[in-house]
Chains A and B, each alone.
Chain A
């Protein structure tokens, strides 16, 4: 009996210990006695400023492509800025069918109006403003060119006007611009004739709003009219569409509505970089960085410092956000305008942005240590050039422009890079 009990007891003991030992799990979460008992875990951080870091910089215009701006700026700011909106209705509804009857031409028109949704900009609205709608159709001209369009904003071509009051204008306001029924009948009568409407805003003083583009779907522009006194018959709604240009294929859809600048402030200057405004501008900067910076050190902070050149014009007191985006165009892409469109998504690699007032001067900074890490070479070559693009939050939809000194400016105001880095991490040897 005794040996049996002794046999069972030690085995149970061993089993229990084995189970307790086997249940042990490592969990690494201490540090309360650091740094005293954790030597060698400090990092030497070097702060320095790199100058002459720009290989190429250029202000590029034409952003976005015509017709893709959304929303569209509509502004009249005295001698400085005149921006108008074109809305094309190249296909109009010219016939209708009474319920249970045959299709027939439209002979009755009522409630004819162009409906647009307006948005506020940073420019204070005057108490009263007017939006005029003109028939700017000219199928014989390349009517996307400002020189062809602007002469058609004449009283003879006026289709209708609406008054916009600042009272009751919240963040947005939908207005109906009543159009001349007789002129519209004449347009409908010519079955081949499109209708291209130009909008112009005017007020006693400076005025600027944005018009929702057709990209906004049901909030975009629409032509609406009744074709029967019978209210059971649905209101005809025509949305913008364009049949031209025919090449390249598909681009005509972008031309359904767009804004164009008749007059813009003079902001160009030598040795300057521009971001924003109309036509939309972006700045392309390709860096000439030392290899050690991208390959050999751990960068904690890399702030691009730009010296802002103040613009004292119409938007001097307005603030603007400038984003930095990584250029993904490869080395083979030599067209900077195209390279400036092949960008990493906003917030990728460069999460920072510059918020500045147009009329301010001084140094602004953009944190781009994430970009520096992207430019690390692999087998001696970087996958794409070390370049970024500075762009507004939304291209081509508002007038503020910020201006910076370029690499061709005097040395004191050229772009520079303020970096903090760890020369080499060699943790491990106690």
Chain B
């Protein structure tokens, strides 16, 4: 066990030096990469347990499942390699996809969270040529974006029956992308460069409803629905476009009939096409279905409390395509949940191997998710 852990640590260290990502990847098309808003614990099990996971801010009913008070945050570096014909690009981006806090007043639990909805962080620079005043000139084109759409959620939940929790949440889609774009020409050409620095701001709202129920002592079911509300984008304070927050429907179940084991599955449908009007005609948007299956078993005890070992697979399509082609993503995942301080804290680790594919291009990525939960 220790040798395996040592090997894993060495492997992680060997990831550096890191190179960060660009729009020139399959993941960051359109308005960016959907992180899924899943916690490290859920990701380690292929996202299968997300509808029942209080740290994954998708089902508001799960807020009632957590401790009376808790704080959770997560960091998630991704290293990816994109191949397009003979071109290969290695990239790296570091995200902080979730921060949440929960509490309770009497029977009502509440939670506030900020989670990355669509991460649009990239930078690229490449040489090409451009005709200026009838002369073909070499030039360098650069573009960069930093930032994300963030889902700010306030949720309330309560246990209405011994085996039933319900919840509701208000979502505000906020955030910004700080953009830099420019084209420069050699000094000897005498042609000036053009540059643009701008900020795109997002504003949207939605409501979500959720339920967690245990119809049988061996079965726990969770379901949630996010409605579609207005979503606008402004660039440098000028209204640019208006669309809808994509509606989402998710259903998950866990079978806990085997001691120290949970078998989970989940299906989710997101109507990303409702965002289509937010982009230009060149942006292709696809509704996405996500399917996940996972296993969670009790691992070695730490300070008397069992740790958790997780495995899972996840398959989905990404919302924004390359040209008119959809991008598929398939993930193999594994993870650990390690209790700390006699259960008052929890560290969840998930390692995902993602393979993305579209016509003519492939992308492989390692995602390491590290979640820290505190229950004071």
Interface positions of A (Cβ within 8 A of B): 3, 5-7, 9-14, 16-21, 23-41, 43, 45, 47, 298-301, 303, 351-352, 367, 369-370, 373, 418, 420, 422, 425-430
Q: How far is the CA of A32 from the CA of B82 in the complex (A)?
A: 9
| Smallest beta-carbon distance A5→chain B, Å | 8
Q: How far is the CA of A36 from the CA of B280 in the complex (A)?
A: 17
Q: Is the CB of A32 within 8 A of B87?
A: yes
Is the CB of B128 closer than 8 A to any CB of chain A?
A: yes
- B198 CB contact (under 8 Å) in A32, A38, A301, A428: A428
Q: Is the CB of A37 within 8 A of B8?
A: no
Q: How far is the CA of A39 from the CA of B324 in the complex (A)?
A: 12
Residues of B within 8 A of A12 (CB): 5, 9
Q: Is the CB of A33 within 8 A of B25?
A: yes
Is the CB of B235 closer than 8 A to any CB of chain A?
A: yes
Q: Is the CB of B126 within 8 A of A28?
A: no
Known contacts: A33-B82, A37-B29, A430-B30. The answer to whether A20 contacts B16 by CB under 8 A is yes
Query: Interface size (B, Cβ < 8 Å)?
Result: 91
- B349 CB contact (under 8 Å) in A17, A35, A300: A17
With CB as the reference atom, state the residue of chain B lying closest to A299.
B192
Known contacts: A20-B9, A300-B194, A427-B179. The answer to whether A45 contacts B23 by CB under 8 A is no
Which residues of B in the span 143-180 have a Cβ within 8 Å of any Cβ on A?
Answer: 143-145, 177, 179
Q: Is the CB of B283 within 8 A of A33?
A: no
Q: How far is the CA of A37 from the CA of B2 in the complex (A)?
A: 42
Q: How far is the CA of A42 from the CA of B259 in the complex (A)?
A: 59
Q: Is the CB of A369 within 8 A of B192?
A: yes
Which residues of B in the span 90-109 have a Cβ within 8 Å of any Cβ on A?
Answer: 90-94
With CB as the reference atom, state the residue of chain B lying closest to A297.
B194
* 5 interchain pairs, CB-CB under 8 A: A21-B12, A31-B89, A35-B128, A35-B141, A43-B194
Bitwise, B315-345 to A at CB < 8 A (1) or not (0) is 0000010110000000000001010000000
Which residues of B in the span 298-317 have a Cβ within 8 Å of any Cβ on A?
Answer: 300-304, 307
Q: Is the CB of A24 within 8 A of B77?
A: yes
Q: How far is the CA of A40 from the CA of B141 in the complex (A)?
A: 12
Q: Is the CB of B20 within 8 A of A28?
A: yes
Bitwise, B263-303 to A at CB < 8 A (1) or not (0) is 00000000000000011101100000000000000001111
User: Which of B53-61, B130-138, B222-230 faces chain A?
Assistant: B130-138
With CB as the reference atom, state the residue of chain B lying closest to A48.
B133
Residues of B within 8 A of A20 (CB): 9, 12-13, 15-16, 368
Known contacts: A20-B13, A26-B93. The answer to whether A430 contacts B320 by CB under 8 A is yes
What 10 pairs between A and B have smallest CB-CB spacing? A28-B123, A31-B126, A16-B9, A31-B124, A33-B24, A427-B181, A26-B20, A30-B22, A367-B190, A298-B194
